[in-house]
Structure 1
């Protein structure tokens, strides 16, 4: 089978629609009895190619520059511009997950990571009426939106290459195997909670892309179940960020118990994965 490199607009639209609901909690979706695994080189390559095309066909860096100027001037963004930034960051996050999932390094290049992270911090700032932080984020975004850095990011995305299938499957397994260590802890800091959510978010991004390219009931159910966990964890993380910005929580120090609903879903995910040969069994699960 030849590897698809370019995809029609309908496929890109379907992926954008999937990304739009990748944190929506669906209480009626259950995991399949067997967690999907053992994916092929072609599947991983096409997931990377689709993620790349989605990013490349997104708004130009000049749009980011315009948003940065508004952040600097207003210390905030009006609602329509907030929606634009959300769309840009959604594409950045998805391609960022692609770097982590499919490339041999399994991480985002530094400049790419800095750009995506800064947009996220800008969103946290204006959502929580932190004018000073919004201004600083606007200054940083205006620098990263210049033509020099835009070309550099585009080059990074274009030259991203897929790793071998065995290594990527092993990476996905290892990510799941990390979850019990979080569950064993008596409590988590907000930073540790965010690290745990990233494991889920990466899997959501993978299964969302996979279900668009290779529609199947077990893939769809897995994607939606992971999305439910992602959504619950996203809401909790938003609360933690608000508390950190208000000064009532130390993001990297204060410990809180993992909410029972999230814990239950994560434990069910781990048990299903371990039964399916994904990851490794931990004594408490």
Structure 2
């Protein structure tokens, strides 16, 4: 697919739908489950284009560079973000993460642009720093973000995002199935290191982002909606566990990469997801 493709534009209702889906993509609800049938993996070339288009629009229309820098600079100067500002920052970071997943999922290379990827990572580290009151980390990551959000860097990133070459149907299917095989391998051991836990979470987050996007484009897609909610429960449980792991690391209580047993309330739905996934 040409990198000069004209991206599809969606009405505000669809953009609001994906905002709602992303907001719910870590909602813990142990009551959700999967039907007996296998998960539908069919995705046409047009659907791949539509999915990336919506993710790009969701990122572009959700905030301004200047607005994000204002939040970062306020924290760097020693200020406390208000509850509204914390939510604003959270939603901006969610838009970054969703588009990063989109680049990994739909692009021909299945990787995110380096500068965009690093910005997304540092937004997370900066958030961890101000949540946990780590002033040295606030300064370190805040100053990096100011550089990454400078006008020249922003121009490079926006150009790269809008000139992403998308994969074809076969490549997209193969990539997703390869990710599930990696998930099977990661879950074959009793204990997971911090890195392995992060890798599992990354695979689940990518998949929930796809089903979030699919359900937003086609509200009648019951399969996408159901899988989205099921994965959101896993994503939420793993997110809470990750927050605890980061807090333990920052407080010096336990190294992040120390192996530990994966809780049953996370492992069991993961294994059900693998059982329903066609390979």
TM range (shorter): over 0.9
180-189 vs 227-236, which moves further:
180-189
Tell me what 2:77 maps to: 73
1:135 equivalent among 139, 142, 163? 139
Structure 2 counterparts to residues 109-188 of structure 1, below 5 A: 109-188=113-192
Moved over 6 A (4+): none
Inter-partner Cα distance in structure 2 for 1:110 and 1:251:
25
Give SS of 2:31's match.
coil
Matched-pair contact (CA < 8 Å) for 2:113–2:161:
no
One of 11, 15, 19 as aligned partner of 2:18: 15
Residue 186 of structure 1: how far off its partner (Å)? 2.8
**What is aligned with 1:282?**
none
Length-normalised TM-score, structure 1? 0.92
Contact 1:72/1:136 (8 A) holds in 2: no
Q: Is 1:262 aligned with 2:266?
A: yes
Shift of 1:79: 2.5
**Greater shift in the superposed pair: 24-33 or 255-264:** 24-33
- RMSD of aligned alpha carbons: 1.5
- Partners in 2 of 1:77 and 1:115 — Cα distance? 20
How far did residue 28 of structure 1 move? 2.7
Query: Does residue 243 in structure 1 map to residue 245 in structure 2?
Result: no
- Secondary structure at 2:260 match in 1: coil
Assess if the C-alpha contact under 8 Å between 1:97 and 1:202 holds in 2: yes
Is 2:54 the counterpart of 1:50? yes
- Match status 1:231 vs 2:231: no
Contact (CA 8 Å) 2:62, 2:95: kept in 1 or not?
yes
Give the drift of 1:76.
4.9
Cα displacement (A) at 1:100: 0.3
Q: Distance in 2 between matches of 1:181 and 1:153?
A: 34
Unaligned runs of 5+ in 2: 1-5
Structure 1 Cα separation of the partners of residues 20 and 140 of structure 2:
32
Q: Deviations over 1:251-277 (max 9, x none)?
A: 23x11111111111111111111xxxx
Partner of 1:93: 97
Distance in 2, Cα, partners of 1:238 & 1:102: 28
Deviates more, 1:101-110 or 1:182-191: 182-191
Change (3 A) 1:256 1:122: same
Preserved CA contact (<8 Å) 1:37 1:169: yes
Aligned length: 272
Q: Between 187-196 and 93-102, report the one with greater CA deviation.
A: 187-196
Q: Give the whole-Å Cα distance in 2 for the aligned partners of 1:78 and 1:247.
A: 28
Instruction: Name the counterpart of 1:25.
Output: 28
